[in-house]
Structure formats: C-alpha cells, structure tokens
Amino acid sequence: EAGVTQSPTHLIKTRGQQATLRCSPISGHTSVYWYQQALGLGLQFLLWYDEGEERNRGNFPPRFSGRQFPNYSSELNVNALELEDSALYLCASSLDPIQWNEQYFGPGTRLTVT
Amino acid sequence: GQQVMQIPQYQHVQEGEDFTTYCNSSTTLSNIQWYKQRPGGHPVFLIQLVKSGEVKKQKRLTFQFGEAKKNSSLHITATQTTDVGTYFCAYSSNTGKLIFGQGTTLQVKP
C-alpha cells in the first residue's frame, strides 16, 4: 500500500512569491492535514480537509490556504511568501478524523524562502 | 485552547541506559498518541492510548496514560542508537484537530 506522497521534495522561492505544495493521501483516507515544522520547532497545525471541505485551520494568516480535490488529494498555497515561512511542510492523512485519528505523514516539502 | 507540555526538551543518554519522556496537560484528554520522528524524517505513529491508566508495550517501549487522563509517558528500556529521534505526544480534539507537544529529542551515545 502506497503511503502519503508529497511534491515537490524541495522548493525555493523568493520573498513575495507564491508557493504551491501538493499531497496525495493513502488510498481510502478522506482526511488530509497540513502542518508546518520550522527548524527546531514542533508541528504547528495549519489546515484540515475532509470530504473536500475545510474543517479546521490553525493560527495562520489567510495567505495560507488550500483545497482538497474530489480524489482527496490536496494542495497548500502560500501567498506573499515571507522569510519566516521557510520550513518543512508536512501532510498527513487519516481514515476517520474523529473516532480514530491516527495520522500517517508524508515525507514533507522543504520550503526555503530567500 | 488545550496544550500538552513535554519534558524534557532534550535528553542525552549512553547506549543501554533507560529513557523517559513525559507529556502533561492541565485538562483531561480523551486520548493520547505518540509519534517518533527520526532526524531528517517525518513523524511516524507509534501508539494511541484512550483508557484511564492504560499501559501498552512495544518491545522495549512502554506507554502509559495516567489515571486522571492528564498525563502520559513513554519509557524506553536499554536504549539503542536506533532510538535516536524526536518523540512527540499528541492528542486528538473533538474537532478532529491533532495537537502536538513540543517533542523530546533523544540522543544516544554509543
């Protein structure tokens, strides 16, 4: 069974640009979560999508947005990039978001903003 | 909102020594999960605890959920170099959000 996949592996952007990160969940999983992990810090919850809808978001500005497609894959968009957006962005998926929220993580996208 | 505090932040041990990380909450948790992130890797789910006083074992790892469901611990017996990484506790809120502790980074000296 394929795990959660993310692309690209690395992304280098300049300040002010936009970044698009992609995630494909495990087959059969309908929930996709996005986290930001800045260097030396823990995982900060960004967004949760389930069945194509945004269910919850963390304390991030509106320039962090995303969507979930009918095949449950997801995209994270970061507009007007700032230097402090440099981080590892992790996507995770789960089968049942409420009852059993075991999450499976992808390898992440390392975003560097210069 | 609820937060979970993990201690210690860092731990250096000699190979063969035991290691314990603690996760504490000021409020009752419905569940607690533990994840391990190897250096350069991504978090990997280890276990979930849901019952008061629950204890689960995975080989050299022992996980406990406190009687009041406000704290949890992960204990590793006789650490090995393969245990190196950051261990996170997390709880699942009733809104489906998973809230992570700050993690404990374990270094094992051979």
pLDDT (0 to 100) of residue B2 = 59
B97 close to A45: Cβ distance less than 8 angstroms: yes
Measured between CA atoms, the residue of chain B closest to residue A3 is B44
Q: Distance between CA atoms of B9 and A98, rounded to whole angstroms? A: 29
pLDDT (0 to 100) of residue A31 = 92
pLDDT exceeds 70 at position B107: yes
Place of tokens 């074992």: B57
DSSP A25: P
**Using the beta-carbon criterion (under 8 Å), do B95 and A101 form an inter-chain contact?**
no
Joined together, the tokens standing for residue A18 give: 């936009």
Helix and strand numbers, DSSP H then E, in chain B = 0, 11
* CB crowding A39-59: b at 16 or more within 10 Å, else e: eeebbbbbbbbbeeeebbbbe
pLDDT (0 to 100) of residue A5 = 97
Sites in chain A below the pLDDT cut of 50: none
Across all residues in chain B, what is the average pLDDT? 93
**Using the beta-carbon criterion (under 8 Å), do A55 and B94 form an inter-chain contact?**
no
Joined together, the tokens standing for residue B42 give: 């991504």
Q: Could you write out the DSSP letters of every residue in B85-106?
A: EEEEEEEE-TTS-EEE---EEE
B45 vs A102, residue with greater confidence: B45
pLDDT > 70 fraction of chain B, expressed in percent and rounded: 96
